[in-house]
Amino acid sequence: MSYGPEQGPRARCMHREREQQAPAQAKKSFFPRPWPLLRLCASTARWLGQLFVGRIRGERRCVLCHAVFFSFPRDGAEAGGRGAAGSPFCPGCLSSMPRREKGHCPLCGEPAAWPELPLAPCIRCVKAAPPWDSLHFHGLYGGQLRRVLRLLKFVNMPQFGQALGWLLSRQPELRLLQVDLVSAIPLHEKRLARRGYNQSLEIARALARSLSLPLRPDVLRRSRYTPPQVGFNFEARQQNMRQAFTATAAVRGQRILLVDDILTTGATMRAAVGALHEAGALAVHAAVVSRVARHGRGVPV
């Protein structure tokens, strides 16, 4: 390219600089800097490695305290920072929710004064046995178990239903029962619309999956709305739950495992079991996560 005398040497120098910069700019745009891409690949590989190595080791995160732990026990024991296989709780949280194995009535679950006493019926069950065929519960209402139940029931955390269902499935007696289906204490439509989910059904869903049993929540429904039973005594609770449930004809001749979250006086469970028996159920076994001591503190809503 030729330049006239009016353009001068300055224009020729600028053109020469442009010709020298053009190949460098083209090379820069065609070959981007590799460091961001390499950094992205390294972080992705690190994340995938942590994910798969954690799964191989049985690494889990506690649903309650969010601590990382390993869920593969050695010789069936929960030691050395390892929890029970498939446990949603770390060993520390699991040990803070102990199972009640002795020191209670085997019919209604009422705890005795001393937890080391052998199983023996209480005076109330000797006078009049409850309508269910057997009762199974994990522990007493208090401590961490009370906290998890309140998170499930009042703080809109239905994910704890699966954790409590796993906790309840650890009862060895439940796996020995001859049961045809699993159902749950239903909520009235008004309370279900207010809460958004049935906490007993969330527990029953996880329990049925662990026991490999069909879940049938439709066989029992609330026939009328009942006010909350907080502050009611035993007789008032019985009256409040009278004719509160209706069972379908599908339960005729069936052996049912009925699930609830908490058992206080047993009024709700008695009314539901009575409705199932009236509809022709062959046997009804009750399973609850927690049992409230009749003379203890912390009676739930």
Among 136-150, 164-178, 219-233, name the one with the lowest average pLDDT: 219-233
* pLDDT > 90: percent of the chain: 45
pLDDT tens string 102-132 = 889 999 999 988 878 889 898 889 999 999 9
Phi, psi of 175 (to 5 degrees): -80, -10
Which pLDDT belongs to residue 146? 94
Arch. (CATH architecture) of 101-291: 3-Layer(aba) Sandwich (3.40)
Which pLDDT belongs to residue 39? 72
**Which of 154-189 are b and which e, b meaning 16 or more Cβ less than 10 Å from the residue's Cβ?**
eeebbebbbbbbbbbbebeebeebebbbbbbbbbee
Which pLDDT belongs to residue 298? 39
Rounded to whole angstroms, how far apart are CA atoms 61 and 65? Answer: 8
Which pLDDT belongs to residue 78? 42
Rounded to whole angstroms, how far apart are CA atoms 131 and 184? Answer: 16
Which pLDDT belongs to residue 74? 43
Phi, psi of 169 (to 5 degrees): -70, -10
The single residue listed with the structure tokens 């206080």 is 264
Q: Amino acid letter at 122?
A: C
DSSP H helical ranges for the chain = 8-30, 35-57, 91-95, 123-127, 143-154, 159-169, 172-176, 189-195, 199-211, 234-240, 267-278
pLDDT at 8 over 60: no
Residues of the chain with CATH 3.40.50.2020: 101-291
Instruction: Quickly state the pLDDT bin for 16 (edges 50, 70, 90).
Output: low
Among 19-28, 88-97, 160-169, name the one with the lowest average pLDDT: 19-28
- Whole-Å CA distances, 166 to 105, 120, 203: 24, 27, 8
pTM attached to this predicted model: 0.74
